[in-house]
Chain A
Amino acid sequence: MVRVLDEDGEVVDGAEVPDLDDDELVEMYRTMKLARRFDERAVSLQRQGRIGTYPPLSGQEGAQVGSAMALGDGDWMVPSYREHAAALVQGLPLKQTLRLWMGDENGARVPEDVNLFTVAVPIASQIPHATGLAWASKLKDEQDKAFLCYFGDGATSEGDFHEGLNFAGVFDTPNVFFCNNNQWAISVPRERQTASKTLAQKAEAYGFEGVQVDGMDPLAVYAVTKAAVEKAKEPTEGELRPTMIEAVQYRFGAHTTADDPSVYREEEEVEKWKAKDPIPRLEKYLQRTDRLDDEAITDIEEDVEDRVADAIAAAEETPRPDPVEMFQNVYAEMPGRLEKQLEWFQSIRAEHGDEALLED
């Protein structure tokens, strides 16, 4: 398993620290802190009924931020539904993530200049899309773009995982398949998904490289992803473009706010993994190498607090979408039969008023 920092933030023997400048390293730390604070607040908002069901990411910031920072300007990201931190790095405002989990489809409307595909909820179903996107780029002879696709450990049991990776191998598409192995698919442990020793070894069956990395070590994740992105664009002779990365990590919280992890896993296990928390790990490394002092940490904490509060305020100030939007964007042009349904719906709104149509 590739590792750069140990659990105390010391560089492990023989490891090479990736080539990130001081600002980038501090930015990595800041983004992870921001993601953690966002996550805490989002879970709390759900408890208060201010957002809907929400999938938390705490514990997974190292894997998300480390991998997302390894993408270049033209590269694409294809998420599942838990990659709020990765999407933030790629350019999706936190407000939009909140709006999505508040039940507003506009949250999934990725800004035009951001190379981020929409969330996909059915497990593994986004993997063939990532292959197709990369394949199209290759057919267009672009050669300068990589397509990073996220999925979890449970996804590796799905047919779409197999079909997506198999196509990627056969058509040699510029993909990086990034498995966030957080040990649990809701309540089912990693051991129950496959008898394979590692998830990374599955790549071998598709003819390309599989790498296992410490997913709670952002520097190792960055290094491994960067190498995979570069290989996707410029493979050496005889080497296939795709890579599968298994980032071994842990979700500290529930699968979503709708489940209680104490039902299926021991607190001891959670504590064991919390000792590997990516944030203090990077913090210690940055402090030890004089890139970060206590004052800077306090500044960063205040900054992320403000940014999360601003995102929440902006999301909560956004009005409920106009119900007419439900009828739009189904087709490029609204079919006549749908227009008639919309017309009737509008007459119902006019007759009863919107308040009467909404549940209390």
Chain B
Amino acid sequence: MGENLTLVQAVRDGLRDEMAEDDDVLVMGEDVGKNGGVFRATEGLYDEFGEERVVDTPLAESGIIGSAIGMAAYGLKPVPEIQFSGFMYPGFDQIVSHMARLRTRSRGRFTCPMVLRAPFGGGIRAPEHHSESKEAFYVHEAGLKVAIPSTPHDAKGMLIAAIRDPDPVIFLEPKKIYRAFREEVPDGPYEVELGEAAVRREGSDISVFTWGAMTRPTLEAAENMADDVDVEVVDLRTLSPLDEETVVESFEKTGRAAIVHEAPKTAGVGAELTATLQEEALLHQEAPIKRVTGFDVPFPLAALEDYYLPEPERIESGIRETVEF
């Protein structure tokens, strides 16, 4: 039996269950303790586990990430939260220079089994720096894993898998869908394996690859055009390591592809997927691969964000261009 939870409640449920399961797991960050997190992702954990395992830290992202690296190297499993992914940059040096490289530099003597959580993406009418999607930064960095759930069930299972993973994981939570819908989430800890994409809708005319908050508008677009185009929607879930097998298999079946992401187009993860399909399945290709993405502009403030983010109409147009090529 499970409970009907929103995505953010499922994150909380995952943290709670894994902390109960494993004493080495601790949560740290700004306002994660008594306040329960600005999005309530750590609500109630402070009361249940106390201030040593649910730590309100000083306001310092590099200090949070850097000290978590030390903790992870010493055998704990810290799960630091950065309040918004737009504030990860003060800790960026720690992420790319140390979190990603500790295992390599020490030839395995020291490892960094930690999960860095951050709400990411647009769509909540937030101020500047609160809406970006910079997953490509982290996908580009060898040594990191990058996971982005799109459902409550996956959020809990992937978060637990990430905490149990021997390598550092950047866990980006699409805040637009933190409370958009509920789903039955099993009680107790369970894992949804990292590195495995999910085919959300089977189809034969075109494969659309997406992740995070873009999964829902993509599925909506697919339904809207279901009468004349049979769209397959693949939710990548983990961007690093990429589930190349599922991506290529889907493309070989349909011969057409579109990629939908919030991040700007240039050098986004869509570019990597396009190149991979060219390398692995060129002879199956029947049309140019379409990228339906955010534009190459700084993320706009609330008044214009609806125009920036791909929505079902834009996604449908992109899919049609490809199918009708």
Say yes or no: is B249 at the interface (Cβ < 8 Å to chain A): no
Q: Which of A132, A136, A160, A164 has the most CB of B within 10 A?
A: A132
Instruction: List residues of chain B with CB within 8 A of the CB of A110.
Output: 106, 109
Q: What's the Cα separation between A127 and B94 when bound, in Å? A: 11
Q: Say yes or no: A132-B74 contact (C-beta < 8 A), given A125-B98, A163-B66, A166-B58.
A: yes
Contact for A331 among B65, B93, B97, B143, CB less than 8 A: B143
Contacts A106-B107, A118-B109, A139-B26 given; does A133 touch B63 at CB 8 Å: no
B271 to chain A minimum Cβ distance, whole angstroms, is 15
CA distance A170 to B105 in the complex (A): 30
Residues of A within 8 A of B103 (CB): 329-332
Q: Is the CB of A330 within 8 A of B142?
A: yes
Complex CA gap A130/B98 in Å reads: 13
Interface string of B66-84 (1 = CB under 8 A from A): 1111111111101000000
Residues on the B chain within 8 Å of A133, using CB: 70-71, 73-74
CB neighbours (8 Å) of A330 from chain B are 103-104, 142-143
Contacts of B104 in A (CB 8 A): 105, 329-330
Q: Which of B264-280 contact A (CB under 8 A)?
A: none
Q: A160-B62, A330-B103, A331-B143 are in contact. Are A128 and B70 (CB under 8 A)?
A: yes
Residues of chain A within 8 A (CB-CB) of B52 are: 139
Task: Say yes or no: A337 contacts B73, CB within 8 Å.
Answer: no
- A129-B70, A335-B195 as given contacts; A159 in contact with B90, CB under 8 Å: yes
The count of residues in chain B whose C-beta lies closer than 8 Å to any C-beta of chain A is: 48
Would you call the interface of chain B mostly helix, strand, loop, or mixed? Answer: mixed
Determine whether the beta carbon of B109 is less than 8 Å from that of A164. Answer: no
- Interface residues of A, dominant DSSP: helix
Q: Which of A125, A135, A139 contacts B93 (CB 8 A)?
A: A125
Closest CB in chain B relative to A132 CB, distance in Å: 2
Q: In the complex, which range does the number of interface residues on chain A fall in?
A: 35 or more
Q: Is the CB of A137 closer than 8 A to any CB of chain B?
A: yes
**Nearest-neighbor residue (CB-CB) of B67 within chain A:** A132
Q: Is the CB of A329 within 8 A of B107?
A: yes
B285 within 8 A of A: no
Interface stretch (choices B36-44, B222-230, B239-247, B250-258): B239-247
Q: Which residue of A117, A130, A134, A159 contacts B62 across the interface (Cβ within 8 Å)?
A: A159
Interface residues of B (CB under 8 A from A): 26, 52, 55, 57-58, 60, 62-63, 65-76, 78, 90, 93-94, 97-98, 102-111, 142-143, 145, 165-167, 195, 240-242, 244-245
